[in-house]
Amino acid sequence: MTLTIEITSDFICPWCLVVDARLNRAIEQLKTSVEIKRVWYPFQLNPTMPEAGMERKTYRSNKFGSWEYSQSLDAKTVQATKSDGIEFRYDLMQVTPNTLKAHRLTWLADQEGKATEMVERILNAYFTEGQDITEVETLTKLAAEVGLNPNSVKAFLSSTQGIQEVKALEQQAASRNIRSVPTIKIGKETIVGAQSAEVFLTALQTAVNELEMA
C-alpha cells in the first residue's frame, strides 16, 4: 500500500523548506508499513520575474517598502524555525530567482523517481547556501549531486523541454483553487502553510488508518 502526499510549492518560499523538514520528521515518527510517496506540484509566486531573476535587495525593497523591513521578515523566519535544524543564510542570497527552470528540473527528476531529492537539494542550495538557482550551470551541478546525468540535464535546461508540462501542472493547481504555498494534501486533508510536525503526523496517521481500513 502507498500513501501519496501531494505538495504544491515554490523554490523562493522559505516555508516550503520548513514544511519539508517537518514532514520528514513526521514520516520518521509514523508507525506503519505503508509506503509514503511524495508528489511535487509547481507553483510560481513570481510568474513574471525576469528569466535571470532580480537582485534580491532591489526586489525585496520594492516589494516590502524598504530593505530594513525585508530583513526583519527574514529574521522572523529564522526565529520561528530555530527548532527545525535549518540554517537560513539570507546574507549569502544575492538573487531572487525565476523558478521555472528549477520546476522543470524537478519535473525531469520525477521521471527518474528523484523528485523529492531534487526539490530538497534546490531548496537547500538557495536558502542555506545562497546559490543562484536561475543558472543552468548551478542546477546542472545540483542535479548531478542527486544522481542525474549532468549532460542530459544541461541539454534539457538549455532547451524548451518541460515548459509546457510544468505550465500544465501549474494550471492544475489553479483549478484546485490553490492560491498559496506550501499546500499539502495528505489523504482527505489539505493543510496550508508551515504547520507543526505534530499536525502533519496526525494527518498522516489518519490517512494511513483510512488506507488500511479500505
Render pLDDT for 44-89 as a digit per residue (tens, 0 to 9). Answer: 999 999 999 999 999 999 999 999 999 999 999 999 999 999 999 9
pTM assigned to the model: 0.96
pLDDT above 90: residue 174: no
Neighbours of 198 (CB within 10 A): 12
**Nearest to 105, CA basis, from 80, 140, 59:** 140
**Nearest to 156, CA basis, from 121, 104, 198, 113:** 104
Angle between helical axes of 115-127 and 14-29 (0-180°, round to 10): 130
158 compared with 32, residue with greater pLDDT: 158
Interatomic CA distance for residues 130 and 88, integer angstroms: 9
Peptide bond into 182 cis (omega under 30): yes
Per-residue pLDDT at 190 = 97
Interatomic CA distance for residues 160 and 84, integer angstroms: 37
Contacts of 172 (CB under 8 A, 6+ apart): 41
Are 69 and 36 a contacting pair, CB within 8 Å? no
Provide the mean pLDDT of the chain.
96
Are 211 and 1 a contacting pair, CB within 8 Å? yes
The number of C-alpha atoms within 13 Å of 146 and in the hemisphere containing its C-beta is 23
Domains of the chain: 2-213 (3.40.30.10)
